[in-house]
Amino acid sequence: CSSDLEELNGVFDAPDDLVGELWNETLWPEHPYGYSILGTHDTVTALQTTDLRAVHGAGYHPANAVIAAAGNVDHDGVLATLAAQGWFEGDRQPRQPMVPAAAGQRGVHRNEARDLQQVHTIIGTDTVSAADERRWGFALMTAVLGGGMSSRLFQRVREELGLCYTIHAWHSGYRAAGVFGVYVGAQPDNAGPALAAIREELTRVTREGIPAGELDDAKRQLKGNLMLALESTSSRMNRLAVHVLHDEQYRSIDDVRRLVDAVTPEETATLAAEFLDPERMTTVTLGPPRSTTRRATRH
């Protein structure tokens, strides 16, 4: 397990990754979504060969696999090859039930002291699942807020105020829930003002929504990214697999484009009012020691 421990230790040398681990843990303290996929030093060192074999035997076998293929392939030929190699033998095991996700911890602020040059901050909240139709609205809001150099947060916090070098927003959907977050890395003196500016922009969106013009720009950006992804065979393959893993009906790119185009300013305003209020957000900062090295309090 030495390589696993090295990978685990590598996270502690990458503060932008570590703050994400801490934020997940803070948002989901009692749910598997809050667990590190790398485990902990104690769990990794305690693993035995029998443990790995038991996990592998319970789920990692041909009859329980999702197989996706893309590119210059023949469907019947792929099936014949898989059958010849025994991939369809045996009984498929029941899929593990999804662990319901209760609401994430909201309005929590956690500081973690670490001797770093920058303060790394994530502010975000739990949102909608991967199968929720509102995810298209969330994807567009995320693009408007922090989806690139033309986004509101990049322009406001970095270009206008000069408070940071890196800032972006993201939205991820899982089977039971989703998350929206904003990451910013700033010098210690700028970390507080940068976070305040982010909260101001989030408040603005919750009150005013997103104008139709900005929403249209985000739609063009999102649809363009979807089309660019088609140039990658691996992206096409992964897209096929994700539909199955999320128990979702397959949608063509044209179907997705129509869903994106159908999002209205009123829908994004409703989403913003429900989910993007800064008082709902959980915030984790990682950086130089302060008077309190670690605390978790509610606003």
At residue 42, the pLDDT reads 81
Q: pTM (2 decimals)?
A: 0.85
At residue 295, the pLDDT reads 41
> Three-state DSSP class for 276?
coil
Give the CA distances from residue 52 to residues 55, 57, 61, 139, in Å, rounded to whole numbers and listed in that order: 5, 8, 13, 37
> Cα-flanking dihedrals φ and ψ of residue 30, to 5°?
-120, 10
pLDDT along the chain (299 residues), means of 10: 65 84 93 83 83 82 82 93 84 65 87 92 94 93 94 97 96 90 96 97 96 95 91 91 84 92 96 96 90 40
Is residue 183 within 8 A of residue 122, CB to CB? The reply is yes
At residue 293, the pLDDT reads 35
At residue 3, the pLDDT reads 64
At residue 55, the pLDDT reads 82
Residue 285: CB partners within 8 Å, gap ≥ 6? 19, 109, 110, 111, 112, 119, 120, 121, 191, 195
At residue 92, the pLDDT reads 65
At residue 296, the pLDDT reads 44
At residue 243, the pLDDT reads 85
At residue 4, the pLDDT reads 65
At residue 275, the pLDDT reads 96
Q: Beta 166-173 vs 294-298: how paired, if at all?
A: unpaired
At residue 77, the pLDDT reads 94
At residue 19, the pLDDT reads 95
Q: Beta 119-127 vs 178-186: how paired, if at all?
A: antiparallel
At residue 297, the pLDDT reads 43
Structure tokens at 169: 């927003």
